[in-house]
Structure formats: structure tokens, C-alpha cells
């Protein structure tokens, strides 16, 4: 291969790999936590005892807090009905956020980003552009958790932590985005 074509081909390969990163919000699907390499955010649950579960929904950088919390409630209603119950009570609920800042190099590929450090005059010093002049982007990921207790019969009207599973499922169904074939890869 011609050396002049090698650099653009390598750059295209890197861009293709980067485009495979998250470009859409996390769809409503089970999380894949088999390994850090295959990690895919989504919902997970663990049965604590009969009629009691701990649920989690984790989103990617593009998934809003509202979506994460909506998917968690939807999963609680879906699981309640799958287990043969009518309503659930949320006994513990929390949403965490994790933020990170990504800096973009103003001169990518030019002299290592025009930011070098060297030892001179008895101290470490730098030459070039610093992080303060670089563009930055803030990314936040949300993870919602809840512990629920499931019940049969009519939901008590006075408990603000009690949810009718059929009503929740019906009301939130239009807001649920299921994975496409591309999301499953």
C-alpha cells in the first residue's frame, strides 16, 4: 500500500471505531454485564425474597435522568405483572449521576497536540497550548435504583409510594424505546 494512502486509511479506521460508540440513548433492554468489554447499560434486577426485588436501570451519556427513572418504573411494573402481582410499593429509591469532562485537542495530530513538557531550569515546564484553551464537553450518566415490594389485590389509595402495575405499564408504554438490531450488537 502506498505510504501516502496509509495515514488517511488509518484515520478512517479510527473514525469508524469511534462512530461505533454510543450515538443514541440507552434503549429499554437488559444490561449486559458479562465483561467490561461487552458492558451494555440497561436494566437489571435481583430477587431479595418472595415479592421483593432490587431493580437498577443504568443509562449511557446520552440518556436523560427522566428516561432512566421512567424505565426503572416501567421495569418495576413489568416485573410485578410477570411475578403474578397487581401493584408494587417503592420502599427505597435513589438516582446517582456520574459526570466526566472530555477535552478536545485544538490541533489534533499536530506536534502531539502542541502540548509538551520538558525539564528545564531546575523544574518541569511546558510548551504549547494548555487544557484551559481546549474545548471541553461535560458528560453525565444516570443510574436509578429502587427496592420494591409486590402485592396482590387493590392498591391502597392513600400510599404515595404504591403503584398500580397495569396503570404504570399502560401510561409509560409510549415512552419506552426498544432496542433495534444495531443496538444488540
Reference 143, options 39, 23, 38; nearest CA is 39
* pLDDT for residue 136: 72
What pLDDT score was predicted for residue 16?
A: 38
Dihedral of alpha carbons 6, 11, 12, 16, sign = positive
At 6 the pLDDT is 47
CA distance 102 to 115: 16
- Is pLDDT at 12 greater than 50 in this prediction? no
Q: What is the pLDDT of residues 21-63, one digit of tens each?
A: 568 999 999 998 776 676 789 999 999 999 999 999 999 999 9
CA angle, residues 61, 62, 65, in degrees to nearest 5:
90
Model confidence band, residue 137 (pLDDT cutoffs 50, 70, 90): confident
DSSP classification of residue 65: H
Task: Please state, in angstroms and as integers, the Cα–Cα distance from residue 22 to each residue in 8, 16, 46, following that order.
Answer: 24, 12, 26
Q: What residue spans of the chain are helical by DSSP H? A: 3-19, 65-82, 111-114, 165-172
Question: Strands 115-120 and 43-49, how do they pair?
Answer: unpaired
Find, among 7, 91, 80, the residue nearest to 45 by Cα.
80
* Number of neighbours of residue 51 by Cβ within 10 angstroms: 16
pLDDT category, 69, cuts 50, 70, 90?
very high
Q: What is the pLDDT of residue 83?
A: 97
User: What are the boundaries of each domain within the chain?
Assistant: 22-175
**For residues 69 and 58, is the Cβ–Cβ distance under 8 A?**
no
Amino acid at each position: 500500500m502506498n505510504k501516502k494512502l496509509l495515514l488517511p486509511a488509518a484515520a478512517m479506521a479510527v473514525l469508524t471505531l469511534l462512530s461505533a460508540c454510543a450515538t443514541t440513548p440507552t434503549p429499554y433492554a437488559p444490561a449486559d454485564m458479562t465483561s467490561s468489554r461487552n458492558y451494555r447499560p440497561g436494566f437489571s434486577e435481583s430477587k431479595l425474597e418472595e415479592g421483593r426485588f432490587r431493580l437498577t436501570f443504568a443509562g449511557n451519556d446520552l440518556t436523560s435522568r427522566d428516561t432512566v427513572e421512567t424505565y426503572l418504573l416501567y421495569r418495576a411494573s413489568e416485573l410485578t405483572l410477570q411475578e403474578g402481582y397487581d401493584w408494587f410499593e417503592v420502599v427505597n429509591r435513589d438516582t446517582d449521576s456520574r459526570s466526566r469532562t472530555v477535552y478536545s485537542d485544538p490541533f489534533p495530530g499536530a506536534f502531539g497536540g502542541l502540548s509538551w513538557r520538558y525539564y528545564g531550569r531546575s523544574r518541569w515546564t511546558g510548551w504549547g497550548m494548555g487544557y484551559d484553551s481546549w474545548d471541553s464537553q461535560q458528560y453525565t450518566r444516570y443510574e436509578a435504583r429502587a427496592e420494591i415490594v409486590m402485592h396482590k389485590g387493590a392498591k391502597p389509595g392513600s400510599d404515595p409510594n404504591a403503584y398500580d402495575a397495569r396503570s404504570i405499564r399502560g401510561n409509560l408504554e409510549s415512552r419506552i424505546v426498544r432496542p433495534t438490531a444495531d443496538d444488540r450488537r
